[in-house]
Amino acid sequence: MDLKNIRQEIDTVDRQLLELFKKRMMYSIQVAEYKKANGLSVLNSEREKEILDRVEKDGGEFGYQARILFSDMIELGKGLQYDIMGSGESLKKTIADAQNVIRKHKDIRIALQGIEGANSHEATSHLFPECQPIFYKSFGKVFRAVESGEADYGVLPVENSSAGSVSAVYDLILKYRFYIVEALNLPIEHCLGGLSKSELEDIEQVWSHPQALAQCSDFISEHNFKTVNCTNTAVAGKSIAEEKRLNCGAICTEKACQEYGLKVLVKGCQNYKNNSTRFIVISKQLIIPENSDKISLCFSLPHSKGALYTVLGRFNANGLNITKLESRPREHGTPFEYLFYLDFDGNVKSDKVVKMLCALSEELPEFSFLGNYREENYHRND
């Protein structure tokens, strides 16, 4: 049999499979109507396991592939059932009650970590040009300020394009479950700043935040510098200015050098030219701007085989692009149990997106909808 004939046979089988698939989905609808009438839940883990174990056994040499195929069909059927049974009403109401405008007038208070001249300060100045920045020493204090009402919003870095995630912030996101209402990708250019009398050959130590040190690791290794961790890049610059040590430099922004009277010894010392950090705006109140294009969730997983694959398959089935998946150990609980943070492209005005979110909210332990917001790319003029 040649390739053309083989493909014709495959097309024939596909048509048969499609008709059977449609028939199976119709039965899923009937199951949903029965469950709704009798007060039963959609999820029946024992029944799912029974089906998947059977098809894997009966599938012979293709048992593993058969299990994946039937797992996907079961998930699609459950999606139909959740929709018919009116699942996720609480989530729908939360979304419907959301405001659509972020307040940015001059009396609004913005919490951020660090001091003047830090990258967080620049991100805040761009996002809230007329608002009052309030500086805190730690990320945790930013969250507590928003929680107490001391600040209206918080601005925090969550990820760098070269150094990766800011794990401490993700841990706090999963702990507090505040809403994300806006995001900004800020280009980051690091400088080596020193005292006015210092030269590059004088520097033996560089001070900065661990993320900035990681972003400049090639430069640091090339010059064999010793590193000193600081709470913030601008704090490093200020500390160098106050310590007045000719052999120490700070990796910080050019703006921080200007702010604290340092001389720029080297400009652009990061590993990659296109270095950027993603900042988010957190709020206790859900705000979904009209042009939102990013959705964030957090959840844990049921203790079942292939649970993460099953969840990710929902996004694939709906044609939705996942842009971030971060796992973090649970703060309290059994070792090696994780919470997951997930970003994907989408808007809650989409019917298929809302249906999927409602299904996930019913099925996943500790599910939280963290917001639907706009992510902006900031381009400097200079």
pLDDT in tens, the chain (382 residues): 889 999 999 999 999 999 999 999 999 999 999 998 998 888 888 898 899 999 999 999 999 999 989 988 988 888 888 888 888 889 999 999 999 999 999 999 999 999 999 999 999 999 999 999 999 999 999 999 999 999 999 999 999 988 889 999 999 999 999 999 999 999 999 999 999 999 999 999 999 999 999 999 999 999 999 999 999 999 999 999 999 999 999 999 999 999 999 999 999 999 998 889 999 999 999 999 999 999 999 999 887 777 888 889 889 888 999 999 999 887 766 666 889 999 999 999 999 999 999 999 988 989 999 999 999 988 765 4
Active site residue 231: no
Q: How many residues does the chain have?
A: 382
CB atoms within 10 A of CB 152: 22
CA distance 71 to 67: 6
State the pTM of this model: 0.86
Q: Is 277 a catalytic residue?
A: yes
- State the span(s) of the chain assigned CATH 3.40.190.10: 191-267
Secondary structure class of 344 (helix, strand, coil) = strand
CATH code linked to domain 191-267: 3.40.190.10
Please name the helix (run of DSSP H) or strand (run of DSSP E) that holds residue 314, with its range, or none: helix 307-317
CATH number listed for the domain at residues 1-85: 1.20.59.10
Residue 312 and residue 295: Cα distance in Å, rounded? 15
* Angle of helix 307-317 versus helix 351-363 axis, rounded to 10: 170
pLDDT at position 381 is 59
Give me the pLDDT at residue 378, please. 84
What span, in angstroms and rounded, lies between the C-alpha atoms of 323 and 127?
22
Backbone phi, then psi, for 286, in 5-degree steps?
A: -75, 125
CATH 1.20.59.10 residue window(s) in the chain: 1-85
Select which of 277, 299, 310, 340 is catalytic.
277
How far apart (Å, rounded) are the C-alpha atoms in residues 189 and 187? Answer: 7
| Phi, psi torsion values for 246, nearest 5 degrees | -65, -25
Please state, in angstroms and rounded to a whole number, the distance separating the CA atoms of residues 227 and 339.
32
- The 3-state DSSP class for residue 128 equals coil
Catalytic-labelled residue, pool 279, 299, 315, 369: 279
- pLDDT of 84 reads 87
Look up residue 306 and give its amino acid: G
Query: With contact defined as beta carbons under 8 Å apart, do 280 and 182 qualify?
Result: yes
